[in-house]
Amino acid sequence: MAKNEKNSAPMRLDRYLCESLQITRSQAKELLAKGRVILNGAVCKKADARVCAGDEVVAGGKAVSRQEFVYIMLDKPQGVVSASEDGHDTTVVDLVRPAHPRRNLFPAGRLDKDSTGFVLLTDDGNFAHDILAPKRHVAKTYTVRIDTPLTQAMIDGFAAGVTLADGSLMQPAVLQGVPGDPTLTRVVLTQGVYHQIKRMFGTFGAGVVSLRRTAIGGLALDESLGAGGWREISADELALIRSKEEN
Ligand code: URA
């Protein structure tokens, strides 16, 4: 088993093969029946043999290891919804599913359908819960174009904590201008309320023209991915996400 599985529970050999090789249960059974799977040095044909931490599995002559969880950085395009499944629209998970057909991936945090940028996809519920927990205050950084020039009143209001139209008080947020472009802004939030940025600007009579998430915690979106592009996140990058620091 791979290093990151040291603490994981034993798993059926056929399931282990499916998850690590991304093959179907019947393909795994075929490999086993043909005697092409070696467990700890001996051919094993039993689908229900248990694979434990430290066991060595070889299939078709190659060592097999299973990554316990997957963490993906996706550059969400406009028009794609932040969900695992949707009866109508393409979801963020649809974009990566061909490469991970057997993983129960979901977005850890949402972006509106018309927003773009960094969405983190994972099948690690504990990690997602941890970085989304309000107490953790993991910062999310956005580039936001508004339909009116940025004012000092907006900057001060965001810093003090905006009260939305429904009366709810938002945590203080960073709002900065971009030199030379009066309607382009950078926003840093430490909470995730539905349509939060649009509603916060709305209290100042400003509309949001475009909204792009550029960082989660201390991890910046890899802009070379392009719209709809994605890649797995390294362990070092994961640690950056957990850090509260804004990018
Ligand atoms: N705030 C919004 O209004 N929309 C988003 O997609 C993210 C933050």
| Spacing, Cα 53 to ligand 1 middle (Å) | 42
Which member of 55, 86, 94, 112 is catalytic?
Answer: 112
What are the tens digits of pLDDT across the range 17-71?
988 887 888 999 999 999 999 999 999 999 999 998 888 999 999 998 878 899 9
What are the tens digits of pLDDT across the range 69-94?
999 999 999 999 999 999 999 999 99
| Spacing, Cα 148 to ligand 1 middle (Å) | 18
Name every protein residue with a CB atom under 6 angstroms from any ligand 1 atom: 111-112, 115, 195-198, 211
Nearest atom, ligand 1, residue 200 CA: 3
Q: Give the pLDDT of residue 106.
A: 97
| Spacing, Cα 150 to ligand 1 middle (Å) | 18
Name the residue with the closest Cα to ligand 1, atom 7. 111
| Spacing, Cα 56 to ligand 1 middle (Å) | 46
Q: Give the pLDDT of residue 53.
A: 80
What is the phi-psi region of residue 27: left when phi exceeds 0, alpha when psi lies from -120 to 50, beta otherwise? alpha
Tell me whether residue 89 is one of the annotated catalytic residues.
no
Name the residue with the closest Cα to ligand 1, atom 2. 195
Residue of 139, 143, 109 lying closest to 241 (CA atoms): 139
CA distances from 127 to 15, 67, 124 (A): 23, 15, 5
User: Can you tell me the distance from the alpha carbon of 225 to that of 233, in angstroms, rounded to the nearest whole number?
Assistant: 12
Confidence grade of residue 2 (pLDDT, cut at 50, 70, 90): very low
Nearest atom, ligand 1, residue 208 CA: 3
Domains 71-134+224-242 and 140-216 agree in fold = yes
Q: Give the pLDDT of residue 244.
A: 58
| Spacing, Cα 115 to ligand 1 middle (Å) | 7
Average pLDDT value for residue range 1-23? 73
* Choice from 164, 211, 213 to test ligand 1 binding pocket (greatest atom count within 8 A of CB): 211
Sketch the domain layout of the chain as residue ranges. 3-64, 71-134+224-242, 140-216
Confidence grade of residue 247 (pLDDT, cut at 50, 70, 90): very low
Contact 185, 146 (CB under 8 A): yes
CATH superfamily of the 140-216 domain: Alpha-L RNA-binding motif (3.30.70.1560)
DSSP 181: E
Map residue 201 onto helix, strand or coil.
helix
For the chain, the straight-line distance linking the first and the last C-alpha, in angstroms and rounded, comes to: 35
* Choice from 80, 112, 199 to test ligand 1 binding pocket (greatest atom count within 8 A of CB): 112
Query: CA 246, 198, 152 angle in degrees (round to 5)?
Result: 70
Question: Which pTM does this prediction carry?
Answer: 0.82
What is the phi-psi region of residue 117: left when phi exceeds 0, alpha when psi lies from -120 to 50, beta otherwise? left
Q: Give the pLDDT of residue 8.
A: 63
pLDDT of 1 over the 70 cut: no
CATH superfamily of the 3-64 domain: RNA-binding S4 domain (3.10.290.10)
What CATH number labels 71-134+224-242?
3.30.70.580
What are the tens digits of pLDDT across the range 117-176?
999 999 999 999 988 887 888 999 999 999 999 999 999 999 999 999 999 999 999 999
Contact 161, 169 (CB under 8 A): yes
